[in-house]
């Protein structure tokens, strides 16, 4: 069980249950969709209209219809004396909710929330007792009321649905963005997956049969094109646009609330652009695209291929796609030996990227060709047969820059203090998307477990209650972990809570620290009281007042699910197979200091203040503090190493653009472990 929140998965369709529901909805296109939920026991009942902000790609008549359903529900709740609330907490901004996604085919979609009885009865804070039968009654009345509203307004709902889809076609022809162009280059696994995900959601996909030009730029055959002149235009825009803005009035209100240290009203992430999360190129075209195209129904993993027949010397697999990772995982599982080049190299007819896998014919079984042919087919990878090891540029196959990729044995901390959603997503990505086994071990048992049978230990993102990892492992467990790393183990921290543990002075595996809120140079430090008194202040403006009540030390404001852009150190083996930049989804208030050069390497560092924010909403001042801070770090200890991702690379299993960095950490880390520092 991977602990997925299926109510956040409607955007990326990572889970089969979500794909099944989306298929059924497209079979029937119900005009009204209600997602019935439960919430905390001390609440009452919630129904539409939703809270602000609204997604700007919702149509005006959809928002008007929410009022119709809300008013009829209120009438019946008043009749029975049920308490309820509307327009608070639950918004209609993020498109990945069950109560959001149906809106983008033209439905009126809503969430209803009932206070939970947590069993048969619950004693609430106001002294009343709520029974399970009450919760059933409330949901039943709301459901029948909703059906009544739909019946009364049947014609309006049908007319609105038709107008929604017809107007989408017209808007797609007239708006500034008329098509999205996705070149099938670079990480082709991510490109193929993205168009398949869109196609499963009813989007029409075209693929170029030959090379073409658009807006003066050439594109190769195989490029995907998505015209916006189709009924799913609004869905395409909300998934593909670089940014979906929140209303300015709402943003200003959140800044006002923050200035008074009041909680914000942002319910979920503020950025979800799939091309950015997949780290692929997506070109918004201002004109309709002309060329020789055919409508296609792409699949998540197209079959791979063997190029060049049967090899005499080696088979080469270019690194940089999830398909190559799947092939590597499967090759290990059938006992093949594989090497990999830390540097790019070239032969007469082709250039191969850093990280390219090398299967030497003489070091593998005689059925190597048959094995790789079979694995390439289902993994989607490209395999090139070569009859010489001679290169015209870069390292030869026998160079020290070519490492032996030993099959890693991977363990993973499970249960407390890990965050279940993050731990589950990590295990899902490795086991189901990459196809490699992971051994989960309860964190409380890691302190006494014999880790010598493992090469890699994954620490998923964790909370700080109960002392975090340090509190669960205990002093002896931390000591044993450090000894295991020095003996050659690779520990990988996946998120800020895990990085904080490795950075703790008692752990000392990553010499970084969480930062306080950065202050400007002219900020005055508060004086220590002397004889119970401090120096007097004269406050002349409200800004002076607000500053005077700020704590002396403040944590940075929490990022509300934004996509930040980072630059990679292309000289480091952890960045092989990657483009120069990558994106991460950042949540929370943790900002980490950089590793010094004499301690380790900052493999991925966020860009400067003018470029770091790729999508979403970030508080004033936060952009400047996040700039040039680490996303990925590595520090060597003895024969092993600690690798830290300050943002979870597996968040909700839809950060596909970080798959290569994850595989580099868990697969290449053991290949580079074992050399004593200073040797």
Residue 441 tokens read as: 């071990």
Q: Are residues 490 and 591 in the same domain?
A: yes
Indicate the pLDDT class of residue 528, thresholds 50, 70 and 90: low
Q: Are residues 342 and 214 in the same domain?
A: no
- 524 in any annotated domain: no
621 pLDDT higher than 90: no
Provide the CATH number for the domain around residue 83: 3.40.630.10
Q: What is the pLDDT of residue 84?
A: 97
Q: Are residues 652 and 629 in the same domain?
A: yes
Residue 111 tokens read as: 């969430």
The stretch 193-204 carries a mean pLDDT of 98
The stretch 601-617 carries a mean pLDDT of 97
Indicate the pLDDT class of residue 523, thresholds 50, 70 and 90: low
Among residues 269, 296, 323, the one where a domain terminates is 296
Q: Are residues 354 and 254 in the same domain?
A: no
- 527 in any annotated domain: no
Among residues 276, 296, 316, the one where a domain terminates is 296
Provide the CATH number for the domain around residue 315: 3.30.70
Q: What is the mean pLDDT of the chain?
A: 94
The stretch 638-645 carries a mean pLDDT of 97
Percent of the chain exceeding pLDDT 90 equals 88
- Phi/psi for 54 (5° steps) reads -95, 145
Q: What is the pLDDT of residue 157?
A: 97
- 536 in any annotated domain: no
User: How confident is the model over 158-173, as pLDDT tens digits?
Assistant: 999 999 999 999 999 9
User: How confident is the model over 568-577, as pLDDT tens digits?
Assistant: 999 999 999 9
Residue 7 per-residue DSSP state: G
Cβ atoms of 492 and 666 closer than 8 Å:
yes
- 394 in any annotated domain: yes
Cβ-count burial of 125 within 10 angstroms (0-12 exposed, 13-18 middle, 19+ buried)? exposed
Q: What is the pLDDT of residue 551?
A: 73
Q: Are residues 143 and 208 in the same domain?
A: no
- 530 in any annotated domain: no
Enclosing domain of residue 279: 175-296
The stretch 192-198 carries a mean pLDDT of 98
Cβ atoms of 431 and 438 closer than 8 Å:
yes
- 1 in any annotated domain: no
Indicate the pLDDT class of residue 679, thresholds 50, 70 and 90: very low
User: How confident is the model over 423-451, as pLDDT tens digits?
Assistant: 999 999 999 999 999 999 999 999 888 89
Q: Are residues 208 and 345 in the same domain?
A: no
User: How confident is the model over 461-519, as pLDDT tens digits?
Assistant: 987 666 799 999 999 999 999 999 999 999 999 999 999 999 999 999 999 999 998 87
- Give the separation between CA 91 and CA 88, rounded to whole angstroms: 8
Q: What is the pLDDT of residue 521?
A: 56
673 pLDDT higher than 80: yes
Cβ atoms of 352 and 346 closer than 8 Å:
yes
Q: Are residues 163 and 183 in the same domain?
A: no
Which residue reads 């086994």 in tokens?
Answer: 437
524 pLDDT higher than 70: no
Q: Are residues 222 and 363 in the same domain?
A: no
- Give the separation between CA 618 and CA 563, rounded to whole angstroms: 9
User: How confident is the model over 259-312, as pLDDT tens digits?
Assistant: 888 888 999 999 999 999 999 999 999 999 999 999 999 999 999 999 999 999
Could you give the C-alpha distances from 221 to 182, 195, 286, 487, in angstroms and in order?
A: 11, 16, 21, 50
Q: What is the pLDDT of residue 518?
A: 85
Q: What is the pLDDT of residue 525?
A: 56
**Three-state SS annotation for 199-212:** HHCCCCEEEECCCE
- 434 in any annotated domain: yes
Q: Are residues 414 and 392 in the same domain?
A: no
Distance from first CA to last CA of the chain, Å, rounded?
44
Long-range CB contacts for residues 124-130, cutoff 8 Å, separation at least 24: 124/41, 124/42, 125/42, 126/42, 130/41
CB atoms within 10 A of CB 187: 24
CA angle 595, 601, 602 (to 5 degrees): 70
- Give the separation between CA 657 and CA 401, rounded to whole angstroms: 25
- 533 in any annotated domain: no
* Number of independent structural domains in the chain: 4
Residue 161 tokens read as: 């649905």
The stretch 338-350 carries a mean pLDDT of 95
Closest by Cα among 83, 63, 209 to 141: 83
542 pLDDT higher than 60: yes
Q: What is the pLDDT of residue 263?
A: 86
Q: Are residues 238 and 286 in the same domain?
A: yes
Indicate the pLDDT class of residue 531, thresholds 50, 70 and 90: confident
Q: Are residues 158 and 218 in the same domain?
A: no
520 pLDDT higher than 70: no
Provide the CATH number for the domain around residue 478: 3.40.50.880
Q: What is the pLDDT of residue 511?
A: 97
Q: Are residues 431 and 563 in the same domain?
A: yes
Cβ-count burial of 311 within 10 angstroms (0-12 exposed, 13-18 middle, 19+ buried)? buried
Among residues 150, 169, 188, the one where a domain terminates is 169
């Amino acid at each position: 069980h991977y602990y997925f929140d299926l109510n956040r998965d409607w955007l990326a369709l990572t889970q089969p249950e979500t794909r099944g529901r989306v298929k059924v909805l497209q079979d029937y296109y119900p005009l009204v969709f209600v997602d019935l939920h439960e919430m905390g026991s001390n609440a009452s009942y919630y129904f539409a209209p939703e809270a602000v902000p609204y997604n700007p790609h919702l149509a005006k008549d959809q928002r008007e219809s929410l009022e119709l359903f809300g008013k009829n529900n209120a009438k019946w709740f008043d009749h029975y004396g049920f308490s309820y609330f509307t327009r608070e907490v639950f918004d209609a901004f993020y498109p990945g909710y069950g109560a959001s996604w149906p809106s983008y085919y033209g439905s009126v979609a809503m969430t209803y929330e009932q206070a939970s009885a947590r069993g048969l009865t619950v004693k609430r804070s106001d002294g009343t007792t709520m029974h399970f039968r009450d919760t059933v009654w409330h949901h039943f009345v709301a459901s029948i009321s909703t059906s009544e509203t739909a019946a009364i307004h049947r014609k309006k709902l049908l007319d609105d649905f038709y107008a929604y889809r017809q107007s989408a076609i017209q808007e797609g022809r007239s708006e500034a963005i008329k098509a999205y162009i996705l070149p099938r280059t670079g990480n082709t696994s991510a490109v193929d997956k993205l168009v398949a995900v869109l196609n499963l959601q009813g989007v029409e996909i075209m693929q170029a049969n030959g090379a073409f030009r658009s807006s003066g730029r050439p594109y190769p055959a195989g490029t995907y094109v998505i015209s916006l002149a189709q009924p799913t235009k609004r869905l395409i825009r909300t998934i593909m646009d670089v940014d979906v803005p929140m209303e300015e009035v709402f943003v200003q209100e959140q800044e006002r609330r923050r200035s008074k240290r009041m909680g914000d009203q942002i319910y979920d992430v503020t950025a979800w652009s799939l091309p950015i999360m997949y780290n692929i190129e997506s070109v918004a075209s201002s004109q309709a695209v002309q060329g020789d195209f055919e409508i296609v129904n792409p699949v998540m993993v197209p079959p791979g291929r063997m190029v060049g027949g049967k090899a005499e010397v080696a088979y080469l697999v270019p690194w940089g796609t999830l398909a190559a990772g799947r092939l590597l995982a499967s090759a290990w599982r059938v006992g093949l030996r594989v090497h990999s080049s830390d540097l790019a190299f070239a032969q007469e007819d082709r250039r191969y990227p850093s990280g390219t896998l090398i299967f030497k014919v003489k070091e593998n079984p005689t059925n190597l060709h048959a094995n790789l042919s079979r694995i390439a087919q289902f993994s989607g990878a490209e395999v090139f047969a070569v009859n010489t090891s001679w290169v015209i540029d870069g390292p030869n196959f026998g160079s020290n820059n070519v490492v032996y990729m030993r099959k890693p044995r991977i363990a993973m901390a499970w249960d407390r203090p890990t965050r279940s959603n993050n731990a589950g997503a990590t295990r899902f990505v490795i086991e189901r998307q990459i196809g490699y086994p992971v051994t989960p071990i309860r964190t409380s048992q890691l302190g006494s477990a014999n880790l010598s049978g493992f090469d890699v230990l994954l620490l998923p993102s964790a909370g700080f209650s109960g002392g975090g990892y340090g509190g669960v492992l205990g002093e002896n467990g931390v000591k044993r972990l450090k000894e295991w790393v020095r003996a050659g183990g690779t520990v990988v921290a996946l998120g800020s809570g895990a990085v904080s543990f490795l950075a703790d002075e008692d752990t000392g595996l990553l010499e970084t620290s969480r930062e306080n809120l950065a202050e400007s140079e002219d900020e005055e430090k508060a004086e220590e009281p002397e004889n119970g008194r401090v120096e007097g202040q004269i406050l002349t403006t409200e800004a002076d007042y607000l500053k005077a009540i700020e704590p002396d030390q403040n944590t940075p404001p929490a990022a509300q699910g934004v996509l930040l852009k980072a630059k990679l150190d292309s000289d480091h083996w952890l960045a092989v197979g990657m483009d120069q930049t990558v994106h991460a989804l950042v949540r929370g208030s943790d900002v980490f200091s950089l590793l010094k050069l004499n301690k380790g390497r900052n493999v991925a560092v966020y860009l400067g203040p003018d470029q770091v924010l790729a999508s979403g909403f970030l508080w004033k001042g936060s952009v400047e503090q996040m700039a040039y801070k680490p996303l990925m770090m590595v520090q060597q200890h003895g024969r092993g190493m600690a690798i830290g991702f300050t943002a979870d690379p597996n968040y909700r299993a839809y950060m596909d653009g970080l798959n290569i960095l994850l595989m580099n950490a868990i697969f290449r880390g053991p290949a580079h472990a074992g050399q004593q520092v200073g040797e």
